Chain A
Amino acid sequence: KAGVTQTPRYLIKTRGQQVTLSCSPISGHRSVSWYQQTPGQGLQFLFEYFSETQRNKGNFPGRFSGRQFSNSRSEMNVSTLELGDSALYLCASSLTVFTDTQYFGPGTRLTVL
């Protein structure tokens, strides 16, 4: 069974631009979560989707948004990029919305210049 895939793997943008990242979960998994990893703040929860509905959102500004499609694939969007948005963005999928093992993708490394 294929693992979680994320595209693109690397991305360079400039301040003020917007970016869309994509995540395809493991086949059959319906829950997708997004995390941001930076050297200073570590791994932080962004949001979780299940059946196309956002279940909860972490403590990030409204510039960070996401959505999930009917095939469980998810996208996250960051508008008006800031230098501090440079990070590794990780996507995780799990079978159900309830407590379950989470499987992470390889991440998208975003650099904002």
Chain B
Amino acid sequence: GIQVEQSPPDLILQEGANSTLRCNFSDSVNNLQWFHQNPWGQLINLFYIPSGTKQNGRLSATTVATERYSLLYISSSQTTDSGVYFCAVETPRRSGGGADGLTFGKGTHLIIQP
């Protein structure tokens, strides 16, 4: 199956710093999403971005599908940004409509210190 690799696995920053998280995937994808998992386990959808660039406040994401990677940018980090950031991809569905679900990377554990 498809491989999804995220880097770095851990990142510790001071409040106010900027960061770039990377997601590499090994095959063509229909769908790529970025999620933030808070300390209580809730996964929050950040971006649905199979290609191109999107921005939402201090966060932005870019996916270059032809080169099989996506980047998540966090600017002016706040302590509430702490948590685990996951990249998840969905491979092209099988004929007949079968769904393979999302394949997640191992995540980047981000700690923002005050």
Footprint of B on A, CB under 8 Å?
Answer: 33, 35, 37, 42-48, 50, 55-56, 58, 88, 90, 92, 97-104, 106-107, 109
Looking at chain A's contact residues, the main secondary structure is strand
Task: Determine how close the nearest CB of chain B comes to the CB of A91; give it in whole angstroms.
Answer: 10
* Interface hub of B33, B43, B93 (most chain A Cβ within 10 A): B43
Q: Quick one: closest B residue to A47, CB to CB? A: B101
Establish whether residues B90 and A90, one from each chain, have CB atoms under 8 Å apart when the complex forms. Answer: no
Candidates B31, B41, B42; contact of A99 at CB < 8 Å: B31
Establish whether residues B48 and A43, one from each chain, have CB atoms under 8 Å apart when the complex forms. Answer: no
Which A residues are CB-close (under 8 A) to B10?
none
Establish whether residues A43 and B104, one from each chain, have CB atoms under 8 Å apart when the complex forms. Answer: yes
Q: Quick one: closest A residue to B101, CB to CB? A: A45
Instruction: Give the tally of cross-chain contacts (CB within 8 A).
Output: 67
Establish whether residues A55 and B45, one from each chain, have CB atoms under 8 Å apart when the complex forms. Answer: no
29 contacts between A and B (CB under 8 A): A33-B102, A35-B102, A42-B104, A43-B88, A43-B102, A44-B104, A45-B102, A45-B103, A46-B101, A47-B101, A48-B99, A48-B101, A50-B99, A55-B98, A56-B94, A56-B98, A56-B101, A88-B41, A92-B102, A99-B30, A99-B90, A101-B45, A102-B33, A104-B43, A104-B45, A106-B40, A106-B41, A106-B42, A107-B42
